Amino acid sequence: MKQLSITSATSLSEKGATIRKIQSLLGHANLTHTERYTLHTDKHLKKAIELLDQEGNAQNVSSSLEPQHYFGDQSIVIIKPMYKDESGQLSTAAPVYFAQFVIANEGKAPAMQLEIGLFDSNMNRLSSRRDPVLMIGDKIVWRPNLHQTDGNYFVVCQYKKALPESQSEIWYQSWLPFRLTEAPKIGEFFVATGEIILKKNVTPSEKLTIF
C-alpha cells in the first residue's frame, strides 16, 4: 500500500481523522511518531499556546536545550512525561502508554510553594497537588487522573524563588501542553507533549488559582 505523505497526514488530522488511521497510512510502527503530527497541527492547541506567550515573559524551551541559558541562577521546574510498555513496566526502549509525569528542579535555586495543576484547554482545573519546596535536583512523580475525554490539556507548575524577606516575591510558571488520546486497551492513554513553556516574572494577575 502506498504510504501517505506527511502533508496529507497533517491535513487529515486537522479534519478529524483518528490517530490510528493516520498511523496506518503513514506506515509508522510506533504510535508516538504519528502523534507528533496530530499534536503540532492541532489548531486549538496552537491558539492556547499563543495566549500564554504574552509581554515577552514566555520562553519555549526544547528538551534538547539547556534551560539555564534562559534563566541563569534561578529555579527551573521542568515537566516530562514517562511511559510504560505493553506489559505495564516503565520503559525507555519501547514506550507505549502514558505512565506519569516527572517534575524536576533543574535550576540553581530551590523552588518554593510549588503548586501543580492539570487543566483542560478551557483552563478548567481538573487535578492539583502542592509541595512546600522542591530542592535543587529533586524530582516529584505525579500521576493525575487522566480519565478525561480526548483533547488538549496542560500541566502547569507555579512556584517562587527563595528570597530574603526584604525582597519582593518573584514567581515563575512552567507549562507543558499535551494531547490526550484514549488507547484501545481499557484504562490506558496515549500522551503526546508539545514544547515546555517557561514563564518568569509572573505578575499577580497572571498567577493561576490552582487551589
Q: Looking at residue 173, what is its pLDDT?
A: 94
Whether 205 is in a domain gets the answer no
Task: Provide the number of structural domains found in the chain.
Answer: 2
Q: Looking at residue 165, what is its pLDDT?
A: 66
Q: Looking at residue 20, what is its pLDDT?
A: 60
Q: Do 136 and 171 fall within a single domain?
A: yes
Q: Do 36 and 63 fall within a single domain?
A: no
Whether 48 is in a domain gets the answer no
Reference 176, options 100, 85, 70, 69; nearest CA is: 100
Q: Looking at residue 143, what is its pLDDT?
A: 92
Question: Which residue pairs from 126-131 have beta carbons closer than 8 angstroms and sit at least 24 positions apart in sequence?
Answer: 126/153, 128/210, 128/211, 130/210, 130/211
Q: Looking at residue 69, what is its pLDDT?
A: 47
Q: Do 10 and 92 fall within a single domain?
A: no
Q: Do 24 and 91 fall within a single domain?
A: no
Whether 129 is in a domain gets the answer yes
Q: Do 27 and 110 fall within a single domain?
A: no
**Burial class, 26, CB count within 10 angstroms (exposed 0-12 / middle 13-18 / buried 19+):** middle
Amino acid at 207: K
Give me the average pLDDT of each 10-residue run along the chain (211 residues): 47 52 61 52 45 45 44 79 91 87 92 95 93 95 87 94 71 94 90 90 87 72
Q: Do 82 and 25 fall within a single domain?
A: no
Whether 206 is in a domain gets the answer no
Ramachandran angles phi, psi of 115, nearest 5°: -120, 135
Q: Do 12 and 110 fall within a single domain?
A: no
Q: Looking at residue 131, what is its pLDDT?
A: 96
Whether 210 is in a domain gets the answer no
Q: Quote the domain boundaries for residue 23.
A: 1-41
Whether 18 is in a domain gets the answer yes
Q: Do 5 and 67 fall within a single domain?
A: no
Given a contact cutoff of 8 angstroms between Cβ atoms, the answer to whether 103 and 139 are in contact is yes
Q: Looking at residue 33, what is its pLDDT?
A: 54
